[in-house]
Homo-oligomer: A and B are copies of this chain.
């Protein structure tokens, strides 16, 4: 019988670089279509090519970048058809979550959302970035609360993939109130176990995002491109 081993998992350089590059993409420091080499990234971060390669390989698998055989890497261009499809999958998962949540007896995770989303209008957070993050968390928590960790993981991956769009979506102050209102309605429906109403609201909520995202993105992307390069 072998000893019960437990080699601690350490912080790896690869993971840090992975996060860094992904963040660079989200923040438009790396723009869709941009090309770059492993050496460039390695030099900028003062590490060797090895962990950079591992990070890039992961990002490729997740659909963020593509390697061109012996010819560098490229940030994947924005593919709106793909984003539409991802929104659809996300909706499917969340509708399933809604159904399950309404069948469950008590869901403390949902109750915990009340203080933020059911706050009075004058007590609402006005910081765009904060609301954007809370928005992601709302959906994330909804799925995770069902107890299906695999579904939550897949949902998380999709959310991250869509983040680059959702960020832009929320830079319009007008959207902020609407976001609050829609989430509040959904949350009330969930707490009241009204599955049909919650589903309808959720569907409309996501469809609205889908519709709005495309036109705004194109404009924002243009302004970002003229501002910064990496």
Contact = CB atoms under 8 A, between A and B. Distances in A.
Given A57-B54, A57-B57, A58-B57, A10 B89 contact: no
Contacts of A158: 150
- Determine how many copies of this chain the complex contains: 2
B89 A7 contact: no
Contacts of A96: 92
Chain A's interface: helix, strand, loop or mixed, by majority? Answer: helix
A92 B54 contact: no
A1 to B, nearest CB: 13
Interface string A48-80: 000001100110010000011111000000000
What band does the interface of chain A fall in when counting residues whose beta carbon is under 8 Å from B? 20 to 34
27 contacts: A5-B71, A7-B69, A7-B70, A7-B71, A8-B69, A9-B67, A10-B69, A54-B54, A54-B57, A57-B57, A58-B61, A61-B61, A82-B149, A82-B150, A85-B149, A85-B150, A85-B151, A86-B150, A88-B148, A88-B150, A89-B150, A89-B151, A92-B92, A92-B93, A92-B96, A92-B151, A150-B158
Q: Which 10 A-B pairs have the closest CB atoms?
A: A7-B71, A7-B68, A7-B69, A85-B150, A92-B96, A85-B148, A89-B151, A86-B150, A9-B69, A10-B69
